[in-house]
């Protein structure tokens, strides 16, 4: 979800938090401790990298962006997850296969 939040344009931690909430229809709320730790791990694994740092009104803002590897892995994961979700719905016999991506 963090990678998805960064798929369109670079964002900083707090912005990612808000986007992930929106993406999940408020069902997933990242704690700051989870988020910043995840950001560090994703950086260490070369899936994201620092785009730039800004200081706006005394507050630091560190913008992250997807790396090429992050882009590739997100695409692969998304294709897999979509297929898995379809399988689940088909197996459950859910007939309404409509959706509204945000």
In sequence order, which residues have a C-beta less than 8 Å from that of residue 49 and are 6 or more positions away? Answer: 43, 64, 65, 67
Question: What binding mask, one character per residue, do residues 48-77 give for DNA by CB under 7 A, x or -?
Answer: --------xxxxxxx---------------
Among DNA, a second copy, none, partner that 3 touches (CB below 5 to 8 angstroms by kind)? a second copy
In sequence order, which residues have a C-beta less than 8 Å from that of residue 55 and are 6 or more positions away? Answer: 61
Question: What binding mask, one character per residue, do residues 13-52 give for a second copy by CB under 8 A, x or -?
Answer: ----------xxx-x-------------------------
Produce one character per residue of 49-64: b if its CB has 16 or more CB atoms within 10 Å, e if not: eebeeeeeeeeeebbb
Among DNA, a second copy, none, partner that 79 touches (CB below 5 to 8 angstroms by kind)? a second copy
Among a second copy, DNA, none, partner that 83 touches (CB below 5 to 8 angstroms by kind)? a second copy
């Amino acid at each position: 979800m963090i990678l998805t939040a960064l798929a369109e344009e670079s964002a900083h931690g707090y912005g990612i938090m808000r986007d992930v909430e929106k993406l999940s229809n408020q069902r997933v709320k990242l704690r700051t401790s989870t988020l910043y730790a995840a950001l560090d791990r994703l950086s260490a694994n070369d899936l994201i990298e620092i785009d730039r740092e800004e200081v706006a009104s005394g507050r630091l803002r560190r913008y992250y962006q997807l790396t090429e590897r992050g882009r590739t892995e997100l695409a692969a994961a998304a294709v897999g997850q979509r297929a898995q979700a379809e399988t689940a719905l088909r197996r459950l016999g859910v007939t309404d296969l409509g959706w509204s991506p945000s």
